[in-house]
Structure 1
Amino acid sequence: MSMTGVRFIEEPARSIPVSAEYDVLVVGGGPSGLTAALAAAEDGLRVGLIESRSFVGGNMTIGLPVLGFLGQKGNQIIDGLPQKFIERLRRERDGASEHRPCPLHMGITLVEPEAVKTVALEMLIEAGVDVLFYTFFAGALVENDIIRGVVTESKTGRTAILAKVVIDCSGDADVAYSAGVPTEKGNADGGMQPPTLMFCLAGVDTDALRMSIANAPPEARTYLTDFIPAEYFGQNRQFIVVGMRELIAKAKAERGLEIPNERTIIITGLKKGEVWINMTRVKGTDGTNARSLTKGEIEGRAQIDDIVTYLVNYVPGFEKAYFTKTAPFLGIRETRRILGQYVMTQEDVLACKHFDDAIAVASYPIDIHRPSDDGCTLIWCGDCYDIPYRSLVPQKIGNLLVAGRSISATHEAMGAIRVMATCMAMGEAAGRAAKISVRGNRSPADIDIEELRRQQLDHGVYLRNPDGSRAGPPNRAAA
């Protein structure tokens, strides 16, 4: 028995088989992971992707719209592979909307979760990526501060996978943390943004909902929707509602409902009458702890009934709505962040900062679901900002890259770069950097950044000139 009261047993040492060897291994098949694998596989490298679930797509499969394609000036600032993915979704499965301007979120791109799973997997297989589902990352294999691969657990048993470069797209910096990379969690007090269990309703008259807002008297508009002018709802048949604070307050007072959110957040789906609800909120959940995640799932599910009661009885258009499904897992907003060669800050975001080693451009505002109460912090910079390559390169451990919301950033900056289009853009950069690393036989920390930026531009990625204009020839995006 240890001093902490935790019991231990000794696990005997054992030899485990090497089940695969790759040039590049991507851990995690969410938005950043699938684009990382696609980019790494562009010119014939052996690329593997492991995913603990039975599908790829991650948070793109839980009913959320993809945020981040459009900038605060209405221009598109995410292109390249993420754009190709959306175009294919739309073309082959009618599984994505166009990028819709939104006064609150800058841009929203609605996606059909099941189409995401199918199209993403098709693209990975076509690219020659070796996808392995039902496989959990269990540990990093590190020698002399260089990652050599990972240990996995699955129905097959415990095996090792070796790779020249590993890209951590776990969303939680699982690989980096296991390898010994310094990490941080949450704000100055360790508080993390609470997760949400998304759920779906059908039978909603979305036209009645939007017109009730569009036609509301001027004195009602201030509370019906946060930051979004009522005129927007008269012009857009697919939309996000954020607000209706007084309706929630009324429902709580009249019916004693327990709703841990001060705002109504409704996202129309691509199917007629379908909406996704982003209103459960489980404070104190640690997305890196299985017991805490389990508690979060239990609490999140228990919150749904009261939210549905509120919507059906108080919100126009929901009179005949009925529950259909919950998301397959909690939507985690924040866990670990690595300490990399550079730490992005709130000041970088709000100053619309340029970086010489920029590998992506983002524009989503600082959006923090506050850990300590039911509110949100939203701060816009007015334009867009660069994401530096150095924030994807961890301290201490070589041959490892990190993409997605766990890159090297402060709690506040992470609140801006955590959305899916931005994560996809980071994944594309990480995959291409890994490819250059393997081809040049040098560590990701030592690659030629200008070569990476050239390749990014050649593949249609949006980067900025010092004057803020788009870098590269104007016809490049069509190539």
Structure 2
Amino acid sequence: MKIFPHSEVRTFPTQHLHCDLLVAGGGLAGLCAALAAARDGLQVVMIQDRPVPGGNASSEVRLWANGATSHMGNNNRWAREGGIMGQIMEENLWRNKEGNPVMFDLVLLDLAKSQSGLTLLLNTAVYEVEKEQQHITRIKAFNPINETFYSVNAAQFCDATGDGVLGFLAGAEYREGAEDAQELGEKMAPGEHFGHKLGHSIYFYTKQTDGPVNFVPPSFALQDITAIPRYKRLTSTLNGCDLWWLEWGGRLDTVHESEEIKWELWKIVWGVWDHIKNSGNFPEAANMTIEWVGAIPGKRESRRFLGDHLLCQQDIIDQRDHYDAVAYGGWSIDLHPADGVYSTHDGCRQFHSKGTYTIPFRSLYSRSLDNLFLTGRLISASHVAFGSARVMCTCGLLGEVVGRAAALCKTEHLTPRELAEPAHIGLLQQQLQVNGCYIPRRWLHDPACGAEVSASSEYQLTELPASGRWHALTGRMALLLPVQAGEPLPDISLFLRAKTPQTLTVSLLGSARAGNFTPDYQYEECVLQVSGEAWHTLSFRWQSERDQYLFIAFEAQDAIEIALTDMHLPGMMTVFNSLNVRVAKHTRQVVDGDYGVDEFDFWLPRRHPQKIMPALRLSLPLTAWSVQNVLNGRLRPEQQTNGWTPDANDPTPEIVWRWAAPRQIHQLTLVQDNDFDNAMESVQMGHHYAVTPHCITHYRLWAGDKLLAEVRDNHHSVCQHRFPEPLAALSVRLEILATAGALPAVYSLNVR
């Protein structure tokens, strides 16, 4: 029993905390920043103003996380984000391939709570900042659930709040809206008619019931469905993010008028549901009910802060490689009309680059303050560039960058601006890659610290046997084939059939830019006469001047079928000149104006388990899976496969790293194949596999005769082993005991 006498006033208690890094915001960007910094030895406090982490990917909003893979709807092959963001997506696939948003919350909460050095404050909002000159010293925050104030002192700060709460309160320079086209030369810069900001969306779930369900709309529901110009696109089968275009608020202040935007979106959602249930146009909806409607809008755009580089359209479309490249993006430049659902424009205007683009570190800190990192959707970018970099997996990747940067700033006694200098930025680029963060067209220097390497076997491609299955060439199809500089292209034999004599044209295509998978050139062409069922040989008298992937491209010829194999190889795939309606309107990027972008064909893979590979024979072995690949520091297929794969008949595949003298080892990081092309959308969209087929699921690591680790049920591409006490070893051996069903590939063993 507690009895409290009358008093004049009372105050809530205050907790005082001290840390190396304060992360404001617990979306995917903030969470990845906090995890990375803690893993690199910092004491971290992460403040999130909501009950769960995840931001727009959480069960509160339920938007699927996506990134450079763009739903596998563009030409960015093997582009899924690595590092911690990749770990999150792979862990969610393992635990939650059905896409349950509540389970995604659990994955994120588990990662945060199990991380030593990370203090998590949920339901807590930052409301005040203290600083000395241009140096932030302390923040104050409040949790209304436990009625507690927090005062947190830190050496460094990271704003991952989306709206830039920390930067705003600290007085950092920022922008809202779109730049004029003349300022940065951005031809995609929107005019007043299209509008200068993206709005919010609210999502909802429906479900079928056993009997009719009545629906009485609330008084504030939209009365006239024709107020939505695209209302005829509504169907009873659309659900969740299929109606992302129920968007509004781009003409308003998307920070201070968020509540007004939310009420308008509720009006829209309930009006749409009233139309579906009660208009009589959807009789199949009689037994449907709404299971969930978001109480929090998914916010796209508000403040963008200024760093030492302003990412712009040309950075993306021209794929500029910055000296301080630390991350990458690959989503289209995806701009929405400011009037959202009430606009007569299409719901979005999307233009893709021909491949991934890099993001410089100079865009990830405030130029106004000397200890404020920026990450997520508030980074230093123009409105146009923001249209691509804003998506959540890209934001998560940027979060890991600033978390590891903060650790380096502490150990090296640098400010973020000093870390960005050419003399220092390599420290961060190498640290990111050591931990499995791929950076396009960059590589890790000496990943195994001078080791020599050998393997029990190496895969060499001479034949992919026919399985008895066939594929009709109803659309253009291409085999992505890795070729090495100076080596002759082998003759390629394919098993084809046609009921009547047919002609098939096969082209040899290539990309202008190293590492791209958009064909710009046609090198050669071969015409085959197909009749009956027989092997046919392609002979291209051509030799590449550089390492690259070629397209062996078959024209559409639906009277011809090609034999398929059941074998699938890491670093090779079949793609199709096809359409993904989620991210494009045509099988080719069509430019209907002077927007400063290119027209090109989309060549898309298929999702598991619909992937196919043609049966084939080669006149010369293709030796693209050499064990020496694990020393080149390239962490996934790009200009080459870049991985070691054992022979398919090797019963006990293993690879050994050897040093001339004992090596002190603190950490081993194994980077291996978990299908970096597979889009692992986090929620709503289900997936066929819980772990992709090439992944090494059971392995052992040995130092001489000493077992360092045995891992079962592995489902991660980046597997880290840290040792409390450094060990001295003359060799490290990886023993592969099982995969998820296909041949494995090892890209690197990073030794530190």
TM-score of the superposed pair, with normalisation by structure 2: 0.49
- The alignment status of 1:120 with 2:108, answered yes or no, reads yes
Q: Which residue of 2 aligns with 1:463?
A: 439
Q: Deviations over 1:167-203 (max 9, x none)?
A: 1000011111221211000124683211111111122
Q: Which residue of 1 aligns with 2:91?
A: 88
| One-letter amino acid of the structure 1 residue matched with residue 120 of structure 2 | V
Q: Which residue of 2 aligns with 1:298?
A: 263
Cα 1:263–1:144 change in 2 (3 A) is: farther
> How big is the shift at 1:477?
2.7
Higher relative contact order (Cα pairs below 8 Å, separated by 6+ residues): 1
Q: Deviations over 1:47-92 (max 9, x none)?
A: 1100111111110022222221416324232111111111111223
Q: Which residue, 307, 312, 316 being the options, matches 2:272?
A: 307
Task: Choose between structure 1 and 2: higher helix proportion.
Answer: 1
Q: Which residue of 1 aligns with 2:69?
A: 70
Secondary structure (helix, strand or coil) at the match of 1:39 reads helix
Query: What is the rounded CA distance, in whole Å, between the counterparts of 2:27 and 2:237 in structure 1?
Result: 22
Maintained 8 Å contact 1:64/1:267: no
Secondary structure (helix, strand or coil) at the match of 2:381 reads coil
Structure 1 residues 254-273: aligned runs within 5 Å: 256-259=225-228, 261=230, 264=233
| One-letter amino acid of the structure 2 residue matched with residue 356 of structure 1 | Y
Query: What is the rounded CA distance, in whole Å, between the counterparts of 1:262 and 1:184 in structure 2?
Result: 34
> How big is the shift at 1:112?
2.5
Secondary structure (helix, strand or coil) at the match of 1:390 reads helix
Q: Which residue of 2 aligns with 1:221?
A: none
Q: Which residue, 346, 353, 362 being the options, matches 2:329?
A: 362
Cα 1:317–1:400 change in 2 (3 A) is: farther
Structure 1 residues 14-413: aligned runs within 5 Å: 19-61=16-58, 62-70=61-69, 72-77=74-79, 78-92=81-95, 94=96, 96=97, 111-128=99-116, 129-155=118-144, 156-188=147-179, 191-203=196-208, 256-259=225-228, 261=230, 264=233, 277-283=243-249, 284-289=251-256, 292-311=257-276, 320-372=287-339, 373=343, 374-375=345-346, 376-413=348-385
TM-score of the superposed pair, with normalisation by structure 1: 0.76
Maintained 8 Å contact 1:31/1:57: yes
Query: What is the rounded CA distance, in whole Å, between the counterparts of 2:300 and 2:364 in structure 1?
Result: 18
> How big is the shift at 1:344?
0.3
> How big is the shift at 1:471?
6.1
Maintained 8 Å contact 1:192/1:286: no
> How big is the shift at 1:397?
0.2
Structure 1 residues 425-464: aligned runs within 5 Å: 425-447=397-419, 448-464=424-440
Query: What is the rounded CA distance, in whole Å, between the counterparts of 1:180 and 1:174 in structure 2?
Result: 10
Maintained 8 Å contact 1:169/1:404: yes
| One-letter amino acid of the structure 2 residue matched with residue 136 of structure 1 | A
Cα 1:465–1:321 change in 2 (3 A) is: same
Query: What is the rounded CA distance, in whole Å, between the counterparts of 2:23 and 2:283 in structure 1?
Result: 45
> How big is the shift at 1:322?
1.8
Query: What is the rounded CA distance, in whole Å, between the counterparts of 2:201 and 2:229 in structure 1?
Result: 11
Which stretches in structure 1 are left out of the alignment for 5+ residues? Answer: 1-13, 98-110, 205-253
> How big is the shift at 1:366?
0.6
Cα 1:263–1:69 change in 2 (3 A) is: farther
Cα 1:320–1:340 change in 2 (3 A) is: same
Q: Deviations over 1:349-402 (max 9, x none)?
A: 111221111111111001111114353221111211111110001112011101
Query: What is the rounded CA distance, in whole Å, between the counterparts of 1:266 and 1:439 in structure 2?
Result: 57
Secondary structure (helix, strand or coil) at the match of 1:75 reads coil
Q: Deviations over 1:84-124 (max 9, x none)?
A: 111111223x2x46xxxxxxxxxxxxx43211211111101
Cα 1:401–1:266 change in 2 (3 A) is: farther
Secondary structure (helix, strand or coil) at the match of 1:361 reads strand
Query: What is the rounded CA distance, in whole Å, between the counterparts of 1:278 and 1:324 in structure 2?
Result: 17
Maintained 8 Å contact 1:464/1:471: no
Q: Deviations over 1:2-32 (max 9, x none)?
A: xxxxxxxxxxxx9x95621111111000010
Query: What is the rounded CA distance, in whole Å, between the counterparts of 1:315 and 1:134 in structure 2?
Result: 41
Moved more, 67-76 or 349-358: 67-76
Task: Choose between structure 1 and 2: higher strand proportion.
Answer: 2
Query: What is the rounded CA distance, in whole Å, between the counterparts of 2:166 and 2:376 in structure 1?
Result: 13
Query: What is the rounded CA distance, in whole Å, between the counterparts of 1:468 and 1:142 in structure 2?
Result: 45
Q: CA RMSD in A?
A: 3.0
Cα 1:175–1:256 change in 2 (3 A) is: closer
Secondary structure (helix, strand or coil) at the match of 2:377 reads coil
Larger radius of gyration: 2
Aligned length: 397
Query: What is the rounded CA distance, in whole Å, between the counterparts of 2:237 and 2:365 in structure 1?
Result: 37
Query: What is the rounded CA distance, in whole Å, between the counterparts of 2:225 and 2:56 in structure 1?
Result: 32
Query: What is the rounded CA distance, in whole Å, between the counterparts of 1:296 and 1:141 in structure 2?
Result: 31
Cα 1:356–1:316 change in 2 (3 A) is: farther
Q: Deviations over 1:197-253 (max 9, x none)?
A: 11111229xxxxxxxxxxxxxxxxxxxxxxxxxxxxxxxxxxxxxxxxxxxxxxxxx
| One-letter amino acid of the structure 1 residue matched with residue 198 of structure 2 | Q
Maintained 8 Å contact 1:35/1:427: yes
Query: What is the rounded CA distance, in whole Å, between the counterparts of 2:120 and 2:42 in structure 1?
Result: 14
Which stretches in structure 2 are left out of the alignment for 5+ residues? Answer: 1-10, 180-191, 210-222, 443-513, 517-631, 636-641, 644-669, 673-718, 720-752
Secondary structure (helix, strand or coil) at the match of 1:67 reads coil
